[in-house]
Amino acid sequence: VTAEKGGYEHFMLKEIHEQPKAYRDTMLGRIDHANHQVVLPELKLSVEQIKNIRNVHIVACGTAYNAGLIGRTVIEQFARIPVENDVASEYRYRSPIITPETLVIVVSQSGETADTLAALREARANGAHVLAITNVVGSSIARDADDVLVTLAGPEIAVASTKAYTSQLIAFYLFGLYLAQVRGTMNKEEVAHVLAAMEALPEQVEAMLGQADPIKTYAEHIAKHKHLFFIGRGQDYAVVQEGSLKLKEISYIHSEAYAAGELKHGTLALIEEGIPVISLVTQESVMEKTVSNIKEVKARGAEVLAISYEEHAAELLKSVDHVITIPKTLPILTAAISVVTLQLLAYYASLALGHDVDKPRNLAKSVTVE
């Protein structure tokens, strides 16, 4: 069994460590270096169709839904197309406004999630073009979609998804750039700039994986708590939603992820002496605002961890109790790095509590009932 796990104690840790390879494999053959562009010859979606897209719906469950939250920011920023995110089990029942100019993107690691499959069928029946981002080529979702963008994460065994999520992010970066090229919303230099940063991600994640000790120490510390909060703004808010889910899934510590600016509208009532607040602070355009939100919880007794870049550590330490640093990338790509810290945090918290990391109670890897 240890051999299957490649020498790692758990599949989850092995899969966290496989992320640099998953990033490279998902990018492989999809970047034309000579012309600084993304090439996705597998797509049937025509240039004409892409130019006509009026709106995008991203539909998925669980961790794949969280990847879609990042997908939204990527498509909106790169291609300037309005995007909505939906949980698959809700999508069909809200009579979504679908036209032939609607692109529906379903995201699913397994390609077998019943709710996602049902949403896909509903979208197609209403005339949308459906693109599936999935890790399993021959899956039901891959077969029923109009187009498939495969993530090359390799088989994921641990129930808590890690490398599938990050590979979905890579797929969204590639697809977002592809839309931008066709629609002319980014020029060659801008695309080249993002591609160069994307190609640096695997090495940056490798470097992080070699320096997990501070994360392990902090995880052992939060394992003593029953409740905690995550906060962030923009991309960081989307990432902490995934971090909070990961922690709940395998450590059973209750946590809530909050948009940092929204805390004062209710949740602040729950902040009491000693409660951990984990703040993800990578978006420099809103950093000052997040720091004021950190001060709001500090003033009410919270113990705050900030996850940010080295260059901000000294300044942040004036307002927080602990800092964990991560490698720097473009603001739009930051999720592919910052989430790794949160995955490790969940892993080590679960380990410290003696839970079954790879097979958490009540959860299934793939849910084939609606």
- Residue numbers of the site for ligand G6P (CB under 6 A)? 61-64, 108-110, 113, 116, 159, 161, 363-367
Cβ atoms of 140 and 116 within 8 Å: the answer is no
Residues in the chain: 370
Minimum separation from the CB atom of position 364 to ligand G6P (A): 6
Cβ-based nearer residue to ligand G6P, 355 or 365: 365
Cβ-based nearer residue to ligand G6P, 62 or 71: 62
Cβ atoms of 141 and 116 within 8 Å: the answer is yes
Dist CA 31 CA 44 (whole Å): 18
Cβ atoms of 300 and 274 within 8 Å: the answer is no
Sort 365 into a burial class: Cβ within 10 Å, 0-12 / 13-18 / 19+.
middle
Minimum separation from the CB atom of position 159 to ligand G6P (A): 5
Cβ atoms of 78 and 197 within 8 Å: the answer is no
Minimum separation from the CB atom of position 181 to ligand G6P (A): 27
Dihedral (CA of 100, 106, 111, 112) sign: negative
Minimum separation from the CB atom of position 276 to ligand G6P (A): 24
Active-site residue, 365 included = yes
Q: Which helix (H) or strand (E) holds 277?
A: strand 276-280
Cβ-based nearer residue to ligand G6P, 85 or 325: 85
Cβ-based nearer residue to ligand G6P, 67 or 316: 67
Catalytic hit among 216, 248, 298, 365:
365
Using Cβ positions, the residue closest to ligand G6P within the complex turns out to be: 62
Tokens 């750039």 appear where?
177
Write out the catalytic residue numbers. Answer: 365
